[in-house]
């Protein structure tokens, strides 16, 4: 597997969309329900003082304070390298997960039409606001100066928010790299 390359999107998908309890079961870690909570034997300290959070798809040992995502867990339990762990997780995907992971990403905002905004495809919130604020090609009544100014103000505010979100996303990516 030397030289294998995975995109951020693929890694994100493997970390967040393969349920961690399924990974625990597939790696044959001893597990059980204690007081209604799913517990597993920590691969580091071998205690059952553990828990999983299905919302974040993370696991934690409260004894040794080790946190696990799906990739970390496979690496620790099976003693695999990062690349081999990712390859193993790919084998656990269902066909629906595989097709969802390889689906084409949405078009950039500049290339989306009003039709795309109205469809069931994922769309940025700014595109939704723009579609509501921008008159369609067959607008029945022309907009007055006040409405046009309001729409332009709204579009400017949306653009500023999108720039701010992009800046925050870039900062988060830098933090993740550390």
CA–CA separation, 89 and 92 (whole Å): 5
pLDDT band at 104 (very low <50, low <70, confident <90, very high): very low
Same domain, 88 and 132: no
Q: What is the pLDDT of residues 137-171, one digit of tens each?
A: 544 555 666 766 777 777 788 888 888 888 888 88
The answer to whether residue 93 is domain-embedded is: yes
Mean pLDDT (the chain) is 77
Question: Is residue 43 one of the residues assigned to a domain?
Answer: yes
Q: Which residue range(s) make up the domain with 172?
A: 109-177
Q: What is the pTM of this model?
A: 0.53
Could you tell me whether strands 31-34 and 37-40 are parallel, antiparallel, or unpaired per DSSP bridges?
antiparallel
The number of distinct structural domains making up the chain is: 2
CA dist list (Å): 130 to 36, 78, 111, 127, 167: 47, 50, 13, 5, 21
Question: Of the residues 78, 102, 126, which one is the last residue of a structural domain?
Answer: 102
Asked if 90 and 120 sit in the same domain, the reply is: no
40 pLDDT exceeds 50? yes
Q: Which of 33, 86, 36, 38 is nearest to 60 (CA)?
A: 38
86 and 120 housed in the same domain: no
Report if residue 169 sits inside a domain: yes
């Amino acid at each position: 597997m030397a030289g294998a390359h995975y995109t951020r999107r693929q890694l994100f998908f493997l970390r967040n969309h393969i349920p961690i309890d399924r990974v625990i079961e597939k790696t044959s870690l001893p597990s059980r329900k204690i007081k209604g909570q799913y517990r597993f034997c920590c691969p580091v300290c071998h205690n059952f003082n553990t828990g999983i959070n299905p919302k974040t798809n993370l696991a934690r040992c409260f004894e040794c304070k080790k946190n696990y995502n799906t990739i970390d867990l496979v690496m620790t339990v099976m003693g695999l390298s990062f690349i081999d762990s990712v390859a193993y997780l790919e084998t656990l995907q269902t066909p629906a997960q595989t097709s969802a992971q390889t689906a084409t990403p949405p078009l950039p905002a500049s290339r989306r039409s009003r039709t795309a905004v109205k469809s069931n495809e994922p769309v940025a919130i700014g595109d939704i606001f723009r579609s509501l604020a921008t008159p369609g090609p067959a607008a029945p009544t022309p907009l007055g100066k006040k409405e046009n100014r309001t729409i332009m103000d709204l579009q400017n505010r949306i653009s500023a928010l999108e720039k701010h979100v992009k800046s925050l996303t870039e900062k988060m990516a830098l933090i993740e790299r550390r």
